[in-house]
Structure 1
Amino acid sequence: MSDTSIIQDNAARTVYQTARASDYFALLKPRVMSLVVFTGLVGLVVAPGDLHPVLAFTALLCIAVGAGASGAINMWYDADIDQIMERTQNRPIPAGKVTAGEALGIGVALSVASVVLMGLAVNLVAAALLALTIGFYIFIYTMWLKRRTPQNIVIGGAAGAFPPMIGWAAVTGSVSIESLVLFAVIFFWTPPHFWALSLWRDIDYANAGVPMLPVVSGREATRRQIVFYSILLLPIGVSPYLLGFAGPVYGVGSALLGAIFLFGAFKVWFKKDEKSAKQLFAFSLLYLFLIFALLLGEAIVMGIV
């Protein structure tokens, strides 16, 4: 019997005794969902034009539900390696709280519902981008790239970069250079963010057979790539100001944040210790939040003024 079959069998015997609403909610990866919704909100607010508050809420709800659906299907497909990896052993399926079949059913139902509602209530462009995001995360990243190539995070990171584009399209009904820049910020942020994590979780990934960069190419090569992407991220992070759809506060703030990020990357490269990698990983989360918070804050202030 395969590892996946054992997990599903164990889960099926225990789920009805232990499952709670919080276990089903955990399938949706709420921490990831919160970041997705926030970046989608920024895309929606920064975009030129107006959207009725009810439709804006509906768009964000669809983004949240679509992200959660992707997470549930990801947990269904990755149940075998989630049981092996220390970081993921307590997820609902390997913990025996929710069956793999339930996770798949919830994920598929929510995926379809989020895309259909987005198309009917908001517009078809936003719905198409949402469908692309869900499909990319499930089929391209989870099922194809994750277990086959150390470039899984580089290419697969596109899935997490779509939400601000979706928010922008919800308002404008189109894709523009500005929304592509917001996409690029997240896209180039993703590799150093996850590689910083993988530098101290490489044994976990190796045991699960996931070819993360430190496992395949070693830690030194990973550190070099972190520095390389951090160098690229600095001007890309500032580009909303350079292109004129963000103000000087954002320009100064994003440059400072990018410089701190790059300093952390060089620290990882030179110090070669676990502490530096953990610090960069923690700051990378703060960096992305603050970059988009600056955009949001400026847009709100300009709207009031």
Structure 2
Amino acid sequence: MTSVTTDISLPADWRDFWALTKPRVMSLVVFTALCGLLAAPGSIHPILGFTAILCIAVGAGASAALNQWYEADIDAKMKRTANRPLPAGRMDRESAFQFGIGLSAFSVGVMGVAVNWLSAGILAFSIFFYAVVYTIWLKRSTPQNIVIGGAAGAFPPVIGWAAVTGDVTLLPVLMFALIFLWTPPHFWSLALYVKPDYAAAGVPMMPVTAGQKSTRNQIFFYSWIMAASALAPWALGMTGLIYGIPAMLLTLVFLALAFSVWRNPAMETSAMKPEKRLFGWSILYLFLMFALLAVDRMVLA
């Protein structure tokens, strides 16, 4: 792959390295990992718990840095990513690559030595999955990139759980499933209103390859499957009413917004088109669902 820029005119500073970690995305990763840790049975020393969450955060930053290292050419063609450190010419690709590899080794190594090697192994696999399976293999080759690649962002609560228990049982698998099935409607709603960016960059996102109607259909379909996974912990008796009732109401709102996207016959031009409403709600939805699950489990314990 050719470099985006051959003349690095501006030196990178700490803010550029921080930007490589995608801190806004990292915040959701850290939160779901923390909820997985808090929901787990048993206890963990606060210092080890902090270390586990720190390692997960650093691992997420490593994945993001490697993603931007590989996708510098794509980022340069998209308005919302053109000012990132690499396409903007503030950093060379080798520095981004070394930064990502260094963070990966640090996060996995510290997690293994300080916490346990199961959580470290899952963390290592999640970094590999995002950087190699999703970024290098899937993203440029198939419109199902988000569906399969969504697994990368679904690992943090499993890692948090494993950090406490040293094992993986059904509830962390359901947490994984919720994020995994949430990812397609979340990202495809974004892709619907930034379709020109993806088209310009040659990324085969669903709206570009299959069109808006098919994308809206799939958003609605995946929203229903996600709803089932969201309510499964309550239905299976793993959580109580603190999670169950609010989760049902929040999920109904999600489905209502997905329905408005599905029935939208043409892309609206208003600032609050259905796709934007669903995308915005989906972020808040996941935060609230995991917060409720963690609180419910702590109260039940």
TM over 0.5: yes
Equivalent residue, structure 2, for 1:170: 163
Q: Note the C-alpha offset of 1:5.
A: 2.3
Cα RMSD for the two superposed structures: 1.2
Secondary structure at 1:245 match in 2: coil
Greater fraction helix? 1
Q: TM-score, normalised by structure 1?
A: 0.94
Deviations 1:201-222 (A, max 9, x none): 1111011010000111100000
Asked if residue 24 in structure 1 is aligned to residue 22 in structure 2, the reply is no
Equivalent residue, structure 1, for 2:209: 216
Q: Note the C-alpha offset of 1:293.
A: 1.2
Matched residue count: 296
2:105 is aligned with what amino acid? V
Secondary structure at 1:88 match in 2: coil
CA separation of 1:35/1:6 partners in 2, compared to 1, >3 Å: closer, same or farther? Answer: closer
The 2-side partners of 1:111 and 1:245 are apart by 33
Asked if residue 75 in structure 1 is aligned to residue 68 in structure 2, the reply is yes
Deviations 1:68-114 (A, max 9, x none): 00000100000000000111101111111222111101000010110
Specify every segment of 5 or more residues in structure 2 that has no aligned partner in the other structure, as ranges: none
Counterparts in 2 of 1:48-87, with a 5 A limit? 48-87=41-80
The 2-side partners of 1:251 and 1:301 are apart by 13
Asked if residue 15 in structure 1 is aligned to residue 10 in structure 2, the reply is yes
The 2-side partners of 1:244 and 1:136 are apart by 32
Equivalent residue, structure 1, for 2:144: 151
Q: Which moved more, 1:19-28 or 1:156-165?
A: 19-28
Instruction: Select the residue among 275, 282, 289 that pairs with 1:277.
Output: 275
Asked if residue 95 in structure 1 is aligned to residue 94 in structure 2, the reply is no
Q: TM-score, normalised by structure 2?
A: 0.96
Q: Is the 8 A contact 2:4 2:87 kept in 1?
A: no
Secondary structure at 2:110 match in 1: helix
Q: Is the 8 A contact 2:4 2:86 kept in 1?
A: no
Secondary structure at 1:86 match in 2: coil
2:292 is aligned with what amino acid? L
Q: Is the 8 A contact 2:3 2:93 kept in 1?
A: no
Instruction: Select the residue among 287, 298, 304 that pairs with 2:296.
Output: 298
Secondary structure at 2:85 match in 1: coil
Q: Note the C-alpha offset of 1:20.
A: 2.5
Equivalent residue, structure 2, for 1:289: 287
The 1-side partners of 2:293 and 2:255 are apart by 21
Deviating beyond 4 angstroms after TM superposition, the runs of 4 or more aligned structure 1 residues are none
2:296 is aligned with what amino acid? E
Secondary structure at 2:286 match in 1: helix
Q: Is the 8 A contact 1:15 1:99 kept in 2?
A: no
Instruction: Select the residue among 99, 103, 106 that pairs with 2:99.
Output: 106
Deviations 1:16-70 (A, max 9, x none): 2xx3311110000001111001000000000011111111000001000000000
CA separation of 1:198/1:6 partners in 2, compared to 1, >3 Å: closer, same or farther? Answer: closer
The 2-side partners of 1:29 and 1:300 are apart by 30
% same residue: 56
